[in-house]
Amino acid sequence: MNLFDRYRLERLIILITTHSPQLHSMHQYKGPTLNDSDSTVLDQSYNDFVTHYINGESLSSEGRTLPVTNPATGKVIRQVMLADEKVVKRAVDAAHEAFQSWKDFTPTKRARVLFQFKQLLEDNADEITYLLTEEHGKTREDAKGELIRGIEVVEYACGIPELLKGEFTQHVGPKINSWSQFEPLGVVAGITPFNFPAMVPMWMYPIAIACGNTFVLKPSEVDPSAAKYCAELFYEAGLPKGVLNVVNGDKEAVDALLDDSRIKAVSFVGSTRVAQYIHQRASENHKRVQALGGAKNHALLMPDADIEQAVNATMGAAYGSCGERCMAISVVACVGEESTQKFIQGLQQAIDNLAIGNGMDDNVEMGPLVSATHREKVLNYIQYGIDEGAKLVVDGRGLSIEGLDNGYFLGPCLFDEVTPNMKIHQDEIFGPVLSIVRCDTQEAAMQLINEHPYGNGTCIFTRDGEAAQYFVENIKAGMVGVNVPLPVPAATHSFGGWKSSLFGDLYAYGPDAIRFYTRRKTITQRWPSGGIREAAQYAFPSENV
């Protein structure tokens, strides 16, 4: 029996123990009960529960649950158990105890576990991508790409024996040697969003654990299954008990993590509003924090750009994953009337040919939004754009997918004649809505980008090397592409934005993550030799004294 089969069997056991009168005393379940009005959203998997994963074992909790929905069908497929302060404490207890021994594992031993974990992720890729598509709605191909990018960070973490090498200087002073070493912090935590349920957690815990820390992960309660499944694979790879723990929950669980004094650092990816809250509360509790917030990523289309290539690149960047990416291109600042018209016409034609449907279908290019609530939010932004005077060139509202009438679908939307002060330009929409802003010059377009409160990612479409170089050197954003619409750094670099897109000093994954999850200790050492003792020195030590 493989891990995926055991995963399903475990849920069946939970179902039996929570609802069988004979076994009820073994597991007291106090979640919501069904009534007649619920029957329209039920399917055969309704009573399937996502538990916590603490100290290498599944742990059920009493009290609140939330439904997990398949966005393509609108049906509830399982319930996720929400952690209270006691459950979070139990996870931190396990991590705190495990740290005492895990920190003493050599980097090479840790790397061996990571190598095995990487292999298991690859071997179980189909199962992981199934869970991603089932709960998030993204296409299987998109889910596969997400997982691959997560595995690349695991692969980077496998080099931890090299990455943790300190610095050494012989004879930094008279018969004095000095070196630095990088030591783990202790228990660290990660709080991750719904849009990348596998990849974003892997930005955090593989590197943190490789550095010798132990980890408590709070994944999104919207699509929690992939995070737990990957944690189970990590333990199958040989991870000692308590090193990685997963607690499902909402703000109650988040606050418990932020307030626990044993947690030394917190990593977060999500909206700017929540990022600010986490940064402030965690900082007040003397924790190290990296909180990656929202984005409003602009592309700059120059008159000399390859229009066909720019259209193809923008389609994927704007409408891939239904626009639910923090690196999605949501605004194109266009310079030149003729090129702008050709670009808009190309987008219209491409949108007409976009295959939309259930992400499980291999022929589909864009799936649904993640939830009914989020779809309503995006619909409201579309109406804001209309009310403020923007021209809705392509209206994706009212899209109907045969057999999926209850799914959370919204077709691609394209606005023209958007101005900088409009709400659809100022706010992160996080949906399949693309805005065109017309600019007279490259400088005016760059000013538009630089004055925006977000500074996550941006790109320029051009054939002109001078224009590209000027853009790269003067644009105010953390990640910049030249003819690359989604300039997401490779795992050997680091990911992060500027301005209101990042709160904290260090980026995610790559070299910055090694620094974030360790603290430097510098040792300066001298041994007496030849029985010679120096006289007391009262001046501050220097090479001249």
Give helix then strand counts, H and E, for the chain.
Answer: 17, 23
Length, in residues, of the chain: 545
CA distance 513 to 492: 10
Asked whether 307 and 349 are in contact (CB, 8 A), the reply is no
Asked whether 359 and 137 are in contact (CB, 8 A), the reply is yes
Burial readout 120-140 (b: 16 or more C-beta within 10 A, e: otherwise): bbeebbebbbbbbbbbbbbbb
Asked whether 87 and 117 are in contact (CB, 8 A), the reply is no
The token duo for 56 is: 């290498």
Asked whether 306 and 127 are in contact (CB, 8 A), the reply is no
Under DSSP, the state recorded for 155 is H
Asked whether 171 and 144 are in contact (CB, 8 A), the reply is no
Under DSSP, the state recorded for 530 is T
Question: What Å distances lie between residue 161 and 182, 206, 360, 493, 512, CA to CA?
Answer: 11, 14, 40, 18, 16
CA distance 400 to 125: 31
The token duo for 526 is: 């001298």
Catalytic residues: 326
| Neighbouring C-alpha atoms within 13 Å toward the C-beta of 254 | 19
Cα-Cα-Cα-Cα dihedral of 326, 503, 287, 164, to 10°? 70
| Neighbouring C-alpha atoms within 13 Å toward the C-beta of 227 | 37
Question: What Å distances lie between residue 43 and 39, 65, 72, 428, 447, CA to CA?
Answer: 9, 17, 14, 34, 52
Asked whether 79 and 64 are in contact (CB, 8 A), the reply is no
Question: What Å distances lie between residue 342 and 79, 308, 334, 345, 482, CA to CA?
Answer: 48, 9, 11, 5, 20
CA distance 359 to 321: 10
CA-derived radius of gyration, the chain:
26
- Provide the H-helix boundaries in 211-356: 225-236, 251-259, 272-284, 307-319, 337-352
CB atoms within 10 A of CB 182: 18
